[in-house]
Amino acid sequence: MEVGDRIRVDTGINGLGTALKILRERRTLSLRELGQLSDVDHAYIHRLEKGNKKSPSLETLAKLLRVLRTNDREAEFLRWLAGHPESDPAVVEYALKDDSIDIEMFTVAASVVHRRTTRPDPAALFKRIRRIFSED
CA distance 69 to 49: 17
Average pLDDT value for residue range 41-45: 96
Q: Do the Cβ atoms of 94 and 123 come closer than 8 Å?
A: yes
Is position 4 within any domain?
no
Q: Do the Cβ atoms of 32 and 44 come closer than 8 Å?
A: no
CA distance 43 to 129: 37
State yes or no: pLDDT of 63 exceeds 70.
yes
Residue 117 — very low, low, confident or very high, per pLDDT cuts 50/70/90?
low
Is position 2 within any domain?
no
Is position 60 within any domain?
yes
**pLDDT value for 85:** 82
pTM of the model: 0.85
Is position 26 within any domain?
yes
Is position 5 within any domain?
no
Is position 31 within any domain?
yes
Q: What kind and span of H or E run contains 68? A: helix 58-68
Residue 29 sits in which domain range? 15-135
Q: Do the Cβ atoms of 88 and 71 come closer than 8 Å?
A: no
Is position 121 within any domain?
yes
Is position 10 within any domain?
no
Among the ranges given (10-14, 63-67, 86-90, 105-109), the one the predictor scored with the smallest mean pLDDT: 10-14
CA distance 76 to 87: 14
Task: Tell me the CA distances in angstroms from 42 to 16, 25, 86, 87, 110, one per residue in order.
Answer: 16, 14, 21, 23, 27
State the chain's mean pLDDT as an integer: 88
Rounded to 5°, the CA angle 14-31-79 comes to: 45
Q: Which CATH number covers residue 73?
A: 1.10.260.40
> In total, how many domains does the chain have?
1
**pLDDT value for 3:** 43
